[in-house]
Structure 1
Amino acid sequence: MSAPLVFIDGDQGTTGLQIHDRLRHRTDLRLLTLPEGERKEAARRTEAINSCDVAILCLPDAPAREAAAAVVNPAVRVIDASSAHRTAPGWVYGFPEMDKEQAARIARARRVSNPGCYPTGAVALLRPLVQAGLLPADHPITIHAVSGYSGGGRARVEEHEGAAAGSGSGAPAFKLYGLRLEHKHTPEIERHAGLSQRPFFLPAYGSFRQGIALTIPLLMRQLPASITGERLHACLEHHFAGATHVEVTSLAEAGAIEHLDPQALNGTNQLRLGVFTNERHGQVVLTAVFDNLGKGASGGAVQNLELMLA
């Protein structure tokens, strides 16, 4: 029996290149790539996507929808790394640690939608607390996050690292965006975190290539009286106990941390969660640090691929 054939559609983009790099030395699968002259030929791409075992779509939303619709071979399974299908019926959300059964759902799925980078951290922090009843589903949630500029895709990387930028000097020190509060990740966070109302989400880019630091502040006086920082932490610790790719910083460790480095987990498929509390002021901040190109994109896609091929 031959090794599974994996086709990366869009393997020249930021995520596609990283997935290709993570898989190219594997001997337990085969990679299907198209020559440069055939990548934009619709007929050739349709032929390729229907001849593989698993197609990984690393495309903008509209082309990803077209590619998924072009699959007529019922044996082909799809992982979509775009945001086109993250709240779509019939697609399994590709965050294996979301709950105890999610990895099994992904393993059985024909269609898997890879999470967005920011939602990976936000859903990891919020969903366990909402499911456990520690955080009301209608609680007003505010999410701030800073990502490396590679979160803007290949065009943003070339803008800041290309010849015109000169040694990366084109990257601004800090840039807020999404000020119209219509960021495409917001409905995804609301749906998969189990929230009943839209969260406030304000993202930013920093002058570094990759990595994310995401924070969610909470006021204890707005939560049920019995909720403490210790209970929030215990819930996350219990939910992710045994998870290979998600770690929860202990409260003792958190007490000694004064800075979060968004680049701390770059090059890995790890997600590090934290709960920082100030009981005197009744304040808590939930944190997530991870590589937006790792657990937030290519690493997560490869993790889903491994589940589907197991």
Structure 2
Amino acid sequence: MLKPKIYIDGQAGTTGLEIVSRLSTREDLELLLIPEQDRHNDQVRKQYMQQADLVFLCLPDQASIEAAKWIDLDTKVIDASTAHRTDPKWVYGFPELSIEHRQKIAQSKRVANPGCHATGFISIVSPLVQKGVLSSEQIIHCTSLTGYSGGGKKMIDAYENHKTEAMEAPQIYGLDMQHKHLKEMQSVCGLKNAPLFSPIVDDYKRGMLTCIQLPLNAKNLYSVYRDFYTNGLVHVHPFGYPANINANGFSHRDDLEIIVTGNEKQALICALFDNLGKGACGAAIQNMNLMLGIKETKGLQF
């Protein structure tokens, strides 16, 4: 059987570079690498897309929208940008949401890869909405801590080569309360109201910790998650936690852990994962595997 041909449009960005690095060791795939001098040549890019069985779009939103128009309808596409995450013609790439969702990804030609903060939020909130624990009208407060690699090349360079004293401390951003992941958080979870969301970046490279608090019995919530997540790359830590939760605790891993702590009246629910793993590249490769009929976890670390 011929190896599937994979092309990554935007291979020089943070997400693109990570996917190239991971797929370059896969003997079951043929990776099509565009020469450096042709990365911005639209005609050459189109030629590579025409050769590919599956294309990753690792581009800014508008560029992804334009590039998606160039790709043959029979060619499989995974878009890592925000552009198509709430587009009904694209399948949202989070297979653990349901058996039906996993099947849709496997059968789809167009999959939108989730955002990193959104991955944490949806992994926590969607099961509770699906099971009727939370109303779709609930207004949910959420905080999410990320390593600086989530900000891309410029932020990585700033933290690693031009760090100021202010950057040594956590920094809340998205102060206009209009973070670009809010639309998918609300849409995928079926919420009528946008979450109240505070993202925070800190002085470590990789890892994400997304948390919500609810005035509900923590052990009961733990049971919901334990029964909901039975396969895939989302799993549930035994109830409680022995010490502090470190936001970089799952760096260089492609799975996600739900952690439930609290008491009979209040619960803290956290999603611990890598912003470049299950929050980006790991999820993209997981979706690629499903779309190509390959073992879902092939090439992933967990």
Report the equivalent of 1:225.
none
* Equivalence for 1:181: 177
Counterpart amino acid of residue 4 in structure 2: P
- Match of 1:50, SS state, is helix
1:189-268 superposed matches below 5 A: 189-220=185-216, 228-241=217-230, 243-251=231-239, 254=240, 256-268=241-253
What's the CA shift string for 1:102-140, capped at 9, x where partnerless?
Answer: 111101001000000011111111111111111111112
Per the alignment, residue 50 of structure 1 pairs with 50
Please report the TM-score for the alignment, with normalisation by the length of structure 2: 0.94
Q: CA shift at 1:170, angstroms?
A: 8.3
Please tell me the residue identity of whatever aligns with 1:236: Y
Deviation at 1:213, TM superposition (A): 0.8
Contact 2:206/2:252 (8 A) holds in 1: no
Q: Given the superposition, is the C-alpha separation of residues 291 and 169 from structure 1 closer, same or farther in structure 2, using an over 3 Å criterion?
A: farther
Partner residue in 2 for 1:123:
122
In 1, the alpha carbon distance for the partners of 2:69 and 2:152 equals 24
The answer to whether the Cα contact below 8 Å between 1:15 and 1:58 also exists between their aligned partners in 2 is yes
Shift of 1:100: 1.9
> Which of 270, 273, 286 is matched with 1:290 structurally?
273
**Equivalent-residue separation in structure 2 for 1:182 and 1:89 (angstroms):** 22
1:1-310 equivalences in 2 (<5 Å): 1-71=1-71, 73-162=72-161, 164-165=162-163, 171-220=167-216, 228-241=217-230, 243-251=231-239, 254=240, 256-279=241-264, 282-310=265-293
SS in 2 for 1:101: helix
TM-score by length of 1: 0.91
1:129 aligned partner, one-letter code: L
Using the TM superposition, give the Cα deviation of residue 235 of structure 1 relative to its aligned residue in structure 2, in angstroms: 1.0
Greater shift, 41-50 or 288-297, is seen at 41-50
SS at match of 2:211: strand
Query: Contact 1:160/1:170 (CA < 8 Å) preserved in 2?
Result: no
Question: Counterpart of 2:286 in structure 1: which amino acid?
Answer: Q
Structure 1 counterpart of 2:24, which letter? Answer: R
Residue 96 of structure 1 deviates from its aligned partner by 0.7
Please give the alpha-carbon distance, in whole angstroms, between the structure 1 residues aligned to 2:60 and 2:166: 24
- Across the aligned residues of Structure 1 and Structure 2, the Cα RMSD in angstroms comes to 1.4
Structure 2 spans left out of the alignment, 5+ residues: 294-302
Query: Does the CA contact (< 8 Å) of 1:159 and 1:170 recur in 2?
Result: no
Query: For residues 234 and 46 of structure 1, what CA distance do their matches in structure 2 show?
Result: 49
Summarize the Cα distance change of 1:136–1:103 in structure 2 as closer, same or farther, 3 Å threshold: same
Q: Percent of pairs identical after alignment?
A: 39
Q: Distance in 1 between matches of 2:45 and 2:138?
A: 45
Letter in 2 for 1:306: N
The runs of at least 4 aligned residues of structure 1 exceeding 6 Å deviation read none
Q: Give the Cα–Cα distance (whole angstroms) in 2 for the partners of residues 247 and 48 of structure 1.
A: 37
The CA distance in 2 between the partners of 1:74 and 1:239, in whole Å, is 34
Aligned to 2:300: none
From the superposition, tell whether residues 7 and 169 of structure 1 become closer, same or farther in structure 2 (CA, over 3 Å): farther
Q: Please say if residues 216 and 285 of structure 1, whose CA atoms lie closer than 8 Å, have aligned partners that are also in contact.
A: yes
- For the 8 Å contact 1:160–1:169, the answer to whether it is kept is no
| Aligned counterparts of 1:199 and 1:63: Cα–Cα separation in 2 | 28
Supply the distance in 2 between the matched residues of 1:2 and 1:34 (Cα, whole angstroms): 21
Partners of 1:169 and 1:108 in 2: CA distance: 49
Q: Which residue of 2 aligns with 1:223?
A: none
1:237 partner letter: R
CA contact (8 A) 1:161 1:170 kept: no
SS in 2 for 1:155: helix
DSSP-derived class of the 2:56 partner: strand
